[in-house]
Amino acid sequence: MYFFNKVLYSMTKSALKMYLSAVSMFLISGCTYSSDALFPSLFGSDAQEEMAAGDGGFSDEAVPALGSTNFEPLEISEGGNTGTFVGQKVATFRSELAQLQASIRNNNAQLQQIRGSVINNALQYHKVIGMIEAKLQVGTTPGNPQMFGMLQSAQSNIQTMNANTIALSQLSTRVQSDAANTTYLADSIKAAYGISGAVDEDHRQLRILENEATQTSILINSLLTEINSDISRQQQYIETAKNYIVDLSSAIKAGSYGVDNAPLTPVKNSAVSFSGSKAGISGKPLFVAKFNKSNVKYKDGLKRAVSSAVSKKPGVMFDVVAVSPAKGSQLSAAAAKNNATQIFQDMIEMGVGAEKINLSAKTSGDVTSSEVQIFVK
């Protein structure tokens, strides 16, 4: 079953409470001689047989859940005019509370509209992603322009999803202002008990308004909490989606998910093993190429690093390590290996003997996008 059909199944099963956010495509990446701060983790599909199991190809963590609350304030009690100064204050408080409740209704309506837009746009996005994945599963021509065209379509959906995240942030700011105003109103109502010249009816109405203001304050803060929770989940999803698009781009360049060049040694628990040696890699890498966007320009930096190492020690040995996120997909691991293989070939073209280069692969919880690390020994 293709990816999109499974996502659609997952979305239906959750009664549209599943919440997909998205992203702008741009990521900062590059090459460095040191272990710089790394970038967001990859999000990818599971293996085809896992997708066929019926979970939509997503874990609960990979697909953030939208809040489902519909925020509707209670009606404000009516009260008669007592003719006192406190009675006039009560009328003013009641009017201010009504305005705050109207604001809650407006903000709630916008929240539900944004959620609908997120879900609709996400379905379109994953439909395109599913088409790309299905084609890559069977293989296609390297650098297929039609595949890149579909990837651009997915990027457009991502930009719309990112706009939805911005809209939620703006909504959060407005709700924060309402929360502060509600707290001020509740304090003003409490202070009115101390005003001289009130009648019993004034205090009875104040007690009712105080209770209603408290309930309104609780509702506004609940609305704010849910909006901020949605924003947080979207931001996390944005980071993973960014890297997944980058990995898809790498796979499209290759025409498939697989690695058909030099073999790489798989490792476990982030400990790199080498043929004929039990020593692990440690210390600061000579060079790091971070593949968290398309068309990473690393060759000049790689050449300088290799030349420097060879000039200092002509018989130097190089360990080229393909690193993928520990929680990444099979696609992210394959992309890291493809990148390491390319760097292996680049180094040979620079004059380094193949016998002086050890290739290996590992996963790491310290990285959030695929990269290649080069060590010397």
The crossing angle, in degrees rounded to 10, of helices 299-312 and 330-349 is 60
How do the domains of the chain map onto residue ranges? 3-32+41-254, 287-376
Residue 318 three-state SS? strand
Residue 124 three-state SS? helix
Neighbours of 84 (CB within 10 A): 15
Amino acid at 126: H
State residue 88's pLDDT score. 95
The dihedrals phi and psi of 289, each to the nearest 5 degrees, come to -110, 120
For residue 55, give both structure tokens. 């979970």
Amino acid at 261: N
Q: Enumerate residue ranges in the chain where pLDDT < 70.
A: 1-65, 257-280, 329
State residue 21's pLDDT score. 36
State residue 198's pLDDT score. 94
State residue 5's pLDDT score. 37
State residue 367's pLDDT score. 85
Question: pTM for the whole thing?
Answer: 0.59
Q: Cα–Cα distance between 212 and 216 in angstroms, integer?
A: 6
DSSP letter string, 45-108: ---HHHHTTTSTT--TTTSPBPP-----PPPPPP----SSHHHHHHHHHHHHHHHHHHHHHHHH
Which regions of the chain does DSSP assign to beta strands (E)?
30-32, 287-290, 318-325, 357-364, 371-376
State residue 258's pLDDT score. 53
Residue 276: in which H helix or E strand, if any? none
**Largest interatomic CA distance in the chain:** 98
Residues 6+ apart with CB under 8 A from 318: 286, 306, 309, 347, 352, 356, 357, 358, 374, 375, 376
Neighbours of 141 (CB within 10 A): 10
Among 87, 110, 121, 97, which Cα is nearest to 11's? 121
Burial group, residue 313, by CB count within 10 angstroms (0-12, 13-18, 19+): exposed
State residue 90's pLDDT score. 95
CATH 3.30.70.260 describes domain 287-376? no
